[in-house]
């Protein structure tokens, strides 16, 4: 009986030691939490984003489901301040005196990507499903960025500029596959704001009987 008791005590001690020695896994956001907690960020810190994180979110993007698994998309990451500043200078010149320029060119304006230090461009081969495929890819990028402590904002205005005559040079810099069209850009960086959630109209959801 004494031997059994000693064995039980030794086993219990070993288990306690094991629990102490093995670090607990870092808490992660659930998918649902990330979906409901993520916000579009329009103010960023100047802190550069680590390339490892940028690559991680890009890989999460291309893990998205897509029509017939054609993967007819292209992802380009820009974190060069020189390129962003140069593109921004050309953009500012093109919108001066326009309503868009009046809206964007405030005292806090640093660059055309909501002042983010990095931007992800998403392009696709034209098809009936390009918009859907790229939309899912973009959501994957934004949710995974949230998981890594980064803010994001999906942007459409850079697309119009880069498809214009004054933006041609910058579009060419992305070196997209021939025939591919730019769909949207995603500003990405460390958030410098914490916006509240905007109400969602749940009446848009209905069961079909």
Tokens of 114: 């909501």
Residues 138 and 124: their CA atoms lie apart, in Å, by 12
The pLDDT of residue 137 is above 70 = yes
Tokens of 137: 């890819």
CB 116 within 8 A of CB 188: yes
Q: What is the pLDDT of residue 102?
A: 78
DSSP string computed for 90-114: HHHHHHTTSHHHHHH-STT---TTT
The pLDDT of residue 12 is above 70 = no
pLDDT tens-digit readout, 20-49: 444 444 556 689 999 999 999 999 999 999
Residues 119 and 48: their CA atoms lie apart, in Å, by 11
CB 57 within 8 A of CB 144: yes
Residue with tokens 């809206």: 103
Tokens of 158: 């850079």
End-to-end Cα spacing for the chain: 67
- Which top CATH class is 31-189? alpha beta
Rounded to two decimals, the pTM is 0.84
């Amino acid at each position: 009986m004494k031997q059994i008791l000693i064995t039980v005590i030794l086993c219990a001690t070993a288990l306690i030691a094991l629990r102490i020695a093995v670090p607990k896994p870092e808490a992660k956001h659930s998918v649902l939490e990330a979906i409901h907690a993520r916000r579009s960020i329009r103010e960023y810190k100047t802190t550069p984003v680590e390339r490892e994180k940028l690559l991680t979110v890009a890989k999460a993007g291309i893990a998205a489901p897509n029509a017939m698994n054609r993967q007819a998309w292209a992802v380009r990451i820009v974190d060069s301040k020189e390129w962003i500043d140069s593109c921004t200078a050309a953009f500012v010149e093109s919108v001066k005196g326009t309503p868009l320029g009046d809206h964007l060119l405030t005292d806090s304006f640093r660059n055309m990507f909501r002042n983010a230090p990095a931007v992800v461009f998403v392009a696709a081969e034209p098809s009936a499903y390009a918009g859907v495929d790229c939309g899912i890819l973009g959501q994957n990028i934004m949710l995974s960025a949230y998981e890594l402590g980064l803010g994001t904002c999906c942007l459409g205005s850079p697309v119009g500029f880069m498809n214009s005559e004054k933006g041609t040079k910058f579009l060419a810099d992305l070196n997209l596959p021939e025939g591919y069209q730019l769909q949207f850009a995603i500003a990405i960086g460390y958030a410098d704001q914490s916006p509240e959630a905007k109400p969602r109209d749940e009446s848009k959801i209905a069961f079909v009987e």
